[in-house]
Amino acid sequence: LTGTSREQRAFQYLLAHAIPGDPHHILQTFDQWCYHCEHLSCVGPDKGRIVERVLLERAPLRVLELGTYCGYGTVLLAQGLPPGARLYTIEGDPRHAAVAEKVIRLAGFSEQTVELIVGPSEEVIPHLQEKHGLMKADLVFMDHWKRCYLRDLRLLESHQLLAEGATILADNVLFPGAPHFLQYAKTCGKYHCKVHRASLEY
């Protein structure tokens, strides 16, 4: 009825209630909106704690996020980066990317820390090295279309974009599910796999 998308309404709520430049408060305000107003398929606080723990353990200097959506996961990742680290995030939907860009900058992250790349992941990944300077990713966070997980993992492998000992963190592999990705990760012999049990967001 308002003529604006859920994602834009969430951003208006952030503008009215969140503290600019405070990533933690940005995420808390997002959570309040999603719990009490409208559901958005963000990572959410429960699974967010898993992401935070992995960031703390790995201290990655180069992070790639597939599926920016409206920037919740991007802010979550960016606030846990060690000094001098850089986050590259890819979003296929220009409307979502437009909201995400504003959310990321509202949280206080510059383009030097977080680079948002708009375009389909299968088109962007092959050009990450020469166009964006991402030589190897230490951590990859997958939270886009589940049917793309396996295809994009193989693209990352074929373009040698995974650093030695890189971590792949993939959301919602059990539900809605990415069975082919999960089977490949478990059986190809390249990865040690661990499934984190968590509730759905919100």
Active site residues: 143, 146, 171-172, 201
| Number of Cβ within a 10 Å radius of residue 187 | 10
Are the beta carbons of 110 and 85 closer than 8 angstroms? no
CA distance linking residue 189 with residue 197, whole number of Å: 23
CA distances from 135 to 80, 86, 129, 195 (A): 21, 12, 5, 28
Q: Report residue 30 as tokens.
A: 């997002």
Tokens read off for 70: 């409206």
